[in-house]
A = this chain, B = another copy of it.
Amino acid sequence: MQLKNDLILRTSRGEKTERTPVWLMRQAGRVLPEYRAVRAKMGSFEELVKSPEFAAEVTIQPVDILGVDAAIIFSDILVIPDAMGCHYEMIESRGPIFPSPIKTEADVNKLIISNPEEDLAYVLEAIKLTKQGLAGRVPLIGFAGAPWTIFAYMVEGSGSKTFSKAKYWLYNNPTLSHKLLDKITESTILYLKAQIKAGADLVQLFDSWAGILSPTQYREFALPYISRICDAITEVPMTVFAKGAFFAREEMGKLSCNTIGLDWNMDITESRKLVGPSKVLQGNFDPCALYAGYAEIEKMAKQMLDEFGPHHHIANLGHGLYPDIEPDKVKCFINTIKEYSSQMAR
């Protein structure tokens, strides 16, 4: 089906567009009362993730309600460990818990390279339903966690401030760490390719825990796997968002992806210099800046656009939307981006 709004795809491919495309990480989620109504029908978060019809419904919600230029499939980065045989539960207000985290070489050997058509059929089905529901209004973004972040959860067994168990592995058993990262990488490539085959028009890799590693470890245990995924995905544009990896921006500029996501700590001008001129940049409004008043949000959004310039930029936050932000504030941000960037591009 022909897309009516393919702005984000043209921008991702490096074209100069009539305005800056905009979407928000976690745009489908607790910030919308409409999402909370669907969520309330489900026993658990995992149930929602594994119910293609409902996942499609909440994926489409922000397109109509907020007016974003892309939908992102409602899912979780932890479906990959789950599909590989390392299961998790999402505990409300605590985050994910893995009852049997990876502890030994035998645990690593037992993990399978997941076959997404079987093990992750529910995501692929949700993508197909979403594409039908969107009917070409906007492109659909697929995603996965970057290997280091997935590794961190699988070894740590939960979220953590320090991920010291996961880092213990890197320092104590680099060979086994690489073996696990390799398996995650292979699963992720197959998974992203399956998402694309099912209809994803663009894919994003989230390295949520990039900022936990030292530059040296990031270069050894994270970047090579991200790079391998970027090289494997040639079908659609790809974005890499490594939160906290300010120290790797120069290397990020050399990845064979289209877009690099910036978090709100990263200075825009400096990031452009480090990443280089050839990449599209995505980001990087402070999620908390949406607590400000309307006039202030408008002012700050315009400042951000002035810094990024009229082209090679996808407007977004520097992290996911927080659940207690008023939807009208989100709309104010989105509308400001649309209007002001149209003026800039003229």
Which of A's residues lie within 8 Å of B, judged by CB? 162, 164, 167-168, 170-172, 211, 213-215, 217, 244, 246-247, 264-267, 270, 286-289, 291-293, 296, 318, 322, 324
Contact = CB atoms under 8 A, between A and B. Distances in A.
Contact of A162 (B164, B211, B288, B289): B288
7 contacts: A167-B288, A168-B288, A170-B288, A171-B289, A172-B293, A247-B265, A247-B270
The count of identical subunits is 2
A324 B165 CA distance: 10
A211 B265 contact: yes
B291 A171 contact: yes
A227 B296 CA distance: 27
Contacts of A172: 291-293
Contacts of A288: 162, 164, 167-168, 170-171
Contacts of A318: 214
A287 B171 CA distance: 11
Nearest to A323: B164
A243 B168 CA distance: 21
Contacts of A217: 286
Nearest to A320: B162
B164 A324 contact: yes
B286 A214 contact: yes
